[in-house]
Amino acid sequence: MARIYYKASVDDIRASFTWSTAPLSKRLPNPDRTQNRKKRKTRDVDDIREPDRQRLRLDIEIRGVRIKPAVRLGGRDVDLYVVNGGNEREFNGAGDNEEGERTANERAAKIYEQFFLDLIEEAPNRRSAQLGSYLSIPVDMRCELARPELLQTAELPFELAQYTVCTPEQWKMHFNRLFPETYDAAVKSPGRQNYGKCTYYNDYVALARAISGNALDRVRFALKVEFDKLVWVPYTQWDRIWSTKKMTTSTWKALPSGTKGGPLVGINPRRARERVTLRAFEQPREGDQLMADSEGEMDD
């Protein structure tokens, strides 16, 4: 038999008929996806601020609010916060150093500016890792566009979305979820996703802890004035900021028409008559992206 196959032995014959299996290349995730699955806290807007980017200012100035000295807490408050998705180190670290030296007005303005960056950083991705984010904003433009103006137009920055016009009660509900009414409510309600990872939320908890309840009411009033200028916000759930579940009731509309799925968006009832559309951005070509990447490597 070995002679027939020109092999020295039967073992050599077996070896020649053994299939070789080359390892399959691992499919890499789409680079356009947001990093919302990571457990780390979202980036601080001050750390990525361009030199020419002015700090956000609130229309209503918050005056006369006394900020208590920063204290490190333990026990029940920290336990509740960690159980609900927060981080103990961040809980005690928020409000220290530079944050602690700012006035309540400056801290509230920073929290509101940070809020928009966090919305972008936590924006949902499509289910498959090989597919990108639902965002239509190119990756290199996301930080720059993470400003109030992005939500002050009825052009939604997504490739796919579901929206409904909120009732006044629903609009207030979303504000209360994003900026809870009391310190206790803020500590107990980070939920399992989004809230506890958001830098703005951690900073809001720290500020709520450092001022009185009446002072927090004044902060929230100033924030609500800004919030009411927005055309849309994520249709929040109690346990998450963003949701992509498919809505089938008649009060919900899909973009593009006839599609299913996509981020849930709530429209400000004061802007109910505005025509809601999707906002398209010019996407970088693959060659342009490779050139940008190579230039970045040369700069390092």
| Closest of 253, 88, 226 to residue 162, by C-alpha | 253
Q: For residues 119 and 222, is the Cβ–Cβ distance under 8 A? A: no
Average pLDDT over residues 257-280: 96
| Terminal-to-terminal C-alpha distance of the chain | 63
pLDDT tens profile 6-31: 555 656 656 565 544 445 455 666 66
pLDDT tens, position by position, 101-145: 789 999 999 999 999 999 999 999 998 776 889 999 999 999 999
Measured CA to CA, the distance from residue 111 to residue 208 in angstroms comes to 12
At 16 the pLDDT is 60
| Residue from 202, 211, 195 nearest 78 by CA | 202
pLDDT (average), residues 228-247: 96
| Greater model confidence, 46 or 285 | 46
Amino acid (1-letter code) at residue 110:
K
What is the reported pLDDT for 300? 40
Query: What is the CB neighbour count within 10 angstroms for residue 115?
Result: 27
* d(C-alpha 180, C-alpha 229), whole Å: 19
Burial class of 44 by CB neighbour count within 10 A (0 to 12, 13 to 18, 19+): middle
Helix axes 213-227, 168-178, angle to 10 degrees: 120
Average pLDDT over residues 215-240: 97
39-86 residue pLDDT tens: 678 999 999 988 888 999 999 999 989 998 865 555 665 565 555 555
- 286 has pLDDT over 70: no
**CA distance linking residue 111 with residue 40, whole number of Å:** 18
The tokens describing 91, both together, are 């809980």
Compute the distance between CA of residue 243 and CA of residue 235 in angstroms, rounded to an integer: 7
The average pLDDT across 204-212 equals 96
Quote the pLDDT of residue 86.
57
The secondary structure of residue 123, as a DSSP letter, is: P
- Stronger pLDDT, 184 or 84, i.e. the higher one: 184
Angle at which helix 104-121 crosses helix 199-210, to 10 degrees, equals 160
pLDDT tens per residue, range 147-179:
999 999 999 999 999 999 999 999 999 999 999
Say what the pLDDT of residue 150 is: 98
What's 187's DSSP letter? Answer: H
Which two three-digit tokens encode residue 292?
Answer: 């940008």
